[in-house]
Chains A and B, each alone.
Chain A
Amino acid sequence: MHQLASSAVDWNAIREDFPILREQAHGHPLIYFDNAATSQKPRNVLDALRNYYEHENANVHRGLHELSSRATAAYEKSRQRVANYLGAASADEIIFTRGTTESINLVAQAWGGKFIRARDVILLTEMEHHSNLVPWQLLAERTGAQLRFVPVRHDGTLALDQLPSLLTREVKLFGFTHVSNSLGTINPVAQLCQKARAVGALTLMDAAQSVGHLPINVRELGCDFLAFSGHKMCGPTGIGALYGRAEILDSIPPWHGGGEMIVSVTLEKSAFKKAPHRFEAGTPNIAGAIGLAAAIDYVERIGRSAIFEHDTQLTGYAMERLAELPGMRVLGPREARGALVGFVMETAHPHDLTTFADQYGLAMRGGHHCNQPLMRRFGLTGTTRASFYFYNTTAEIDRMIEILHAAGRFFS
């Protein structure tokens, strides 16, 4: 096995924290390379969920009893935990949502609904996940706003030389992903935020693929909104958050109406709480928020710099080994990559390849990865994607290469 150069972290011991990694699939040890879709969960997150339901479960913010106090305290502590994790100025800048998709929809509907007019421009990139594209299409249809896109170059990076003609005064918001979920490209987000600010546009960063992998500080970046999901960073599904700069959140009207988000209600009219509660109608995903805080604890214990270093080594090793395969094309840049490789093999279609690999216990994703326009841009209908997290090993990559060789022989 190829030895990784890093570091103080005992990466093999970390695997013991993830009970699911002992599973077998089709009689083979599981190799889980679908982390860009969702990560696995460590024991402390599973324990936090259980502990909540066994010792703290009640509705938040309303009850005057002991359990409600515990639940409320734990829920709000989780909000503070997220704020610290992202470098936000205050917990009031963190809105809990179901995940990245809901966070982006909140901005598109509530902020966009109030501030966007016909002929305003929303600037996106050609590499956005459908979740940072479709909400803006819906907004554009409703308001007559226009969408523009920063093209993607053949090497999988953004065509930044075209920004001056795209990022103009008409642009009200520039939305971009931090790490592409199919190319692996890490975008120069600080630079994008700075350029947007220069023309008075707000920025929205899709951090779904980066939040559990890279250090992020929203104040240093200067982004106005950041959307992410908990489940790709060791947390439970159904919980994520939207970060929004305080003065912007305060200017946005509610989007969902209901309990929890009001100050007072008459039959005709209601007065609403301040952010973030204004945006959290109904009973929230309390257990999810607590599980997310536990996931943050776990990720921070390892450290995002160490995770990123490990990602970089795994991905570099995967790219080096993939190059050995005949008829192999790896998408995306050679440098500055997140923890995934998307590729196509001349001999085998992504669906045949992933079906084949699955029979050997290797879980990968094959298809368009919610990136149909991007796939078209590269003349593909889909790719096979192997995506890593800190519990993956070079030995697993070696096994993947063996399986891909076997698949290549089988299908050619």
Chain B
Amino acid sequence: MSPELEELYQEVILDHSRRPRNFGDLADAEVLVHGDNPACGDEIHLGVRFGEGGTLQDIKFTGRGCAISQASASLMTTKLKGKSPAEVTEMLRAFHELVTTDRNDAPKTLGDLRAMQGVRKFPQRVKCAMLPWRAVEQALQQNEGESTVSTEEPEFA
């Protein structure tokens, strides 16, 4: 097993991909975002219910995809529950930096999400890791209703 593979597929990632947390339909979701990655066909359906001050009171997901996108979604939902919009935005920024740059000063607040750091060695897999985050970003923007978000922006349709 190569060190890159071991770093990419850390035990915590394999665990979350096999037994994703917060997996299922959120019955009283205020926002439903369908995220898809047209490059590979992976999809995620993210349900969010907001609390006071726009905090993410509850967040669940369904969908199917690779171990990276599933683990990323599972870890993300675990981390974001109860967070304010500002905290979510900051975490999104820090997570994106974690999986796309060589910097090693990821904030401790990312917690288990730091296990996703191995993705940076696999540029083709960054979209897999970012898919659930694109969905949550969209959820914050729209506050209610249903929408679709993609890792590829359609330029002309």
Which A residues lie at the B interface, using CB under 8 A? 26-27, 348-352, 355-356, 359, 366-368, 372, 375, 380-382, 410-411
Contact = CB atoms under 8 A, between A and B. Distances in A.
B36 to A, nearest CB: 9
B65 interface: yes
A366 B66 CA distance: 11
Nearest to B5: A359
B87 to A, nearest CB: 30
Interface of B: 1-2, 4-5, 8-9, 14, 39-43, 64-68, 122, 124-125, 128
Contacts of A381: 40-43, 64-65
A381 B1 CA distance: 27
Contact of A382 (B2, B14, B41): B41
B41 A356 contact: no
Nearest to A382: B41
A349 B66 contact: yes
B8 to A, nearest CB: 7
Contact of B40 (A356, A359, A367, A410): A367
Contact of A355 (B39, B43, B122): B122
B5 A382 contact: no
Contacts of A382: 40-41
B39 A367 contact: yes
Contacts, number: 52
B41 A372 contact: yes
Contacts of A348: 67
A388 B144 CA distance: 50
Contacts of B64: 381
A411 B42 contact: no
B67 A411 contact: yes
Contact of A349 (B4, B14, B43, B67): B67
A351 B65 CA distance: 9
B66 A368 contact: no
A351 B125 contact: yes
Contacts of B65: 349, 381
Given A349-B66, A351-B125, A411-B67, 10 more contacts: A26-B4, A351-B66, A355-B8, A356-B5, A356-B9, A380-B41, A381-B40, A381-B42, A381-B43, A381-B64
A351 B5 contact: no
Contact of B41 (A27, A352, A368, A410): A368
Contact of B4 (A359, A366, A410): A359
Nearest to A366: B40
Most buried by A among B1, B2, B40, B66: B66
Contacts of B42: 351, 381
Most buried by B among A351, A355, A382: A351
Kindly list the 5 A-B residue pairs having the minimum CB-CB distance in the complex, ordered from nearest.
Answer: A381-B41, A349-B66, A351-B66, A359-B2, A352-B67
Contacts of A372: 41
15 contacts: A26-B2, A27-B2, A348-B67, A356-B5, A359-B1, A359-B2, A367-B40, A367-B41, A375-B41, A381-B40, A381-B43, A381-B64, A410-B1, A411-B9, A411-B14
